[in-house]
Amino acid sequence: MTTVRLNGIAGRVLAAVLAVAMFGCSGEPEPTLRDWNVLLLTFDTTRADYIGCYGRENARTPVLDRLAAEGVLFENNFASNPITQPSHSTILTGVQPMVHGVRDNSMFKLPERRETLAEILGEAGWATGASIGGFPLVREFGLAQGFDFYDDDITGNREDFRGRPERRQGGTWYDERPAAHVNDAILPWLREHLDERFFVWLHYWDPHLPHTAPPPYNHIYAHDPYQGEIAYADESLGTIVRELEKAGVYDRTLIVMTSDHGEGNFEHKEATHAFLAYSTTLHVPLIMKIPEMEGGKRIGQSVGTVDIVSTILDLIGIEGPEELQGRSLVPLIHEPELDAQAPRLYYSESISPRLSHGFGELRALYEWPLKYIHGPRPELFDLVDDPHELRDLIAERPTEAKRLETALARFIREHASAEAAEAVHEVDEATKQRLEALGYLDSGGEGPGAVEETLRDEGIPPQDRVRDINLAQRMRQQIGGGQFAAAAKTARKLLEDAPGNAFYEAMLANALVGLDKPLEAAKVLEDSAELGGAHQAIFLQVARAVFDAGEQDRGWALAEKIAESDNTAAVRVALAQMALEAGNVEDFVTEIERALELDEDNAPARMEMARHLLDAGDLDGAEREFKALLALQPLAVEGHLGWAKLLAARGQDEEALERLERVLRLSPGSCDGHLEKLRLLTKLGRPEEARRERREFDRICRTDEWREKAREAMETT
């Protein structure tokens, strides 16, 4: 491809204008860049060998199989990392992890200086939109840059397949949404931009744990729900494909499908992912449906997700930024023999065992068909003779292992950037708790500062601790599913091998609270030396359960001990809540003030103070606090609900109803919101509207307690 390089946007666009046609019959240069749309699809946690076109006989993936038949399939494509956020950072920037700097979930954020595919295409005139399905990709972590539209609203109420609300499950649930909801979020935007060039990124989270395929796939794949979730994601993709066909733009849309990582499924004893560096979690699909190109091609040479940005830009005629480290795969598509004599080197890593768990780390280098994994216990595999990596060749071929170790060290040195350190990111306690639920955080990890761009062989081999990771994941699922007795048993088993582990102690205490044994849970924590860090929310939950069980002094003392270990605003808010319920208003105010001294932007502290002032009749003070709260969190349901109650207390009933409509748009399942609306409609003498609202209330809020509240509200009003 012939290009002219100039600096900045103008240079890239001019280069695009001068691009040479790649698939035309004449081979003559085209006057402009290709007028193609771009659709990038990432199926989370999807192994290549679970897709029909990759040879899976029982797969139901007709949409992906069709794309492969109409395009090109890369048989040996490898992800840079077995974790969602860092792997997607590579997919969207086209640079190695040691350049973009994102090495694990939550502890890192893609730096603004890193240019994404969305930014490049947006600068060149493409409309850019994205819709994502899982929490690790919310805009907080930097991947939204360059998108005109980025829908990460994954915190709404979940529904089962009958449309009934599903309850989120305590501290181990996390935010996600099914692929159909991802589609619903992007389709209105897509329809508005069908008459212009667009770039859309869709992320389907569904194949990620927990594996709970929706009907009919839960029945078809009752023995393998993971396979069922992939089938569901494929079906959901079909909705988008049909939309493109209906609009007449399918034929001029470049479609690229890949995954961030696979799933262990107990191969190499790994139940899920994020820990080891085998093909089970690193060999992922790469399928490209390219306009104007004959389909059905299969490429056997090794490639990587790092190549996606360069390839897309080459195909549509835009010259990428100089820092791109992936290569364009267009020459390989036309001449697959190009790599036969000199295969490219590809890199993968699993740093998370060190950062999140305190074990050793793993870095891998592919020189097809060889793969070398460096860590506390190095390994060497031939991926052609041994695709499942069951036979370690280190002892048999030490010379090649040493050569690849040297090549890996050189690769890291040549590709590393000091700017990667800018990706280190501090997250709040709520975010930490969500990521614990995903299995990405544990106690004992060294944190993001432990990353060194060199080969390291110290620490416990991650391969030796897979059992503990599997048990910990099972424990999380048991708690999330309400199986508290089983979770407590699992936690005690883990503590036998790792006494004093703060995470396992936190999970045991959490399970005991679930079993309505708060005093036993308190004993676990009172004997613990460490009550801070990522698990503090669980510790506070225990303290509160003890307080609510009638042991107010003991609950307060436990919360104070937690504060001594890690004095955060969250602890002070918990103490304030206890003080208020004990009738000690003075201590309540003192603790809220302490919370705001620690974090003046602490929304729960603002919320508690606003509620207290409203209940005390200090409407001006409550207004001040509600304004501060909503400035911090414009979508805070409780903030808008409190504001509605404030307006009602001032007699501004119509304005209060308008605010309640906002509450119920944000959270249709808010029983408090429906109750307040019912009360106001009754007060305003609107019986027909009140009856409709009562029916809606009864549909959503089904407990006797809520219905009694509704009866009282209507009678007293």
- pLDDT single digits (tens) 190-231: 999 999 999 999 999 999 988 889 999 999 999 999 999 999
Cβ proximity of 650 and 614 under 8 Å: no
Element (H, E) at 626: helix 619-632
Percent share of the chain, pLDDT over 70: 88
Per-residue pLDDT band at 163 (split at 50, 70, 90) = very low
pLDDT at 342 over 90: no
Buried b / exposed e along 693-717 (16+ C-beta atoms within 10 A): bbeebeebbeeeebeebbeebbeee
Can you give the C-alpha Rg of the chain in angstroms?
A: 27
The domain segmentation of the chain, as residue ranges, is 35-342, 653-717
Q: 1 with 305: CB under 8 angstroms? A: no
Mean pLDDT of 384-410: 97
Over residues 665-705, the pLDDT tens digits come to 888 889 999 999 999 999 898 989 988 989 988 898 888 88
CATH superfamily name and code, 35-342: Alkaline Phosphatase, subunit A (3.40.720.10)
| E strand or H helix that includes residue 353 | helix 352-357
Report how far apart the first and last C-alpha atoms of the chain are (Å, whole number). 76
Rounded Cα distance between 694 and 407, Å, is 70
Q: What percent of the chain has pLDDT over 90?
A: 61
pTM of the model: 0.75
Mean pLDDT computed over 459-464: 92
For the CA atoms of 209, 260, 121, 10, the dihedral, rounded to the nearest 10 degrees, stands at 140
For residue 711, the model assigns a pLDDT of: 83
pLDDT at residue 7 tops 70: no
Q: What is the mean pLDDT of residues 420-433?
A: 70
pLDDT in tens, 259-310: 999 999 999 999 889 899 999 999 999 999 999 999 999 999 999 999 999 9
Per-residue model confidence as pLDDT tens digits over 40-57: 999 999 999 999 999 999
pLDDT tens string 593-640: 999 999 888 889 999 999 999 999 999 999 999 899 888 888 888 899
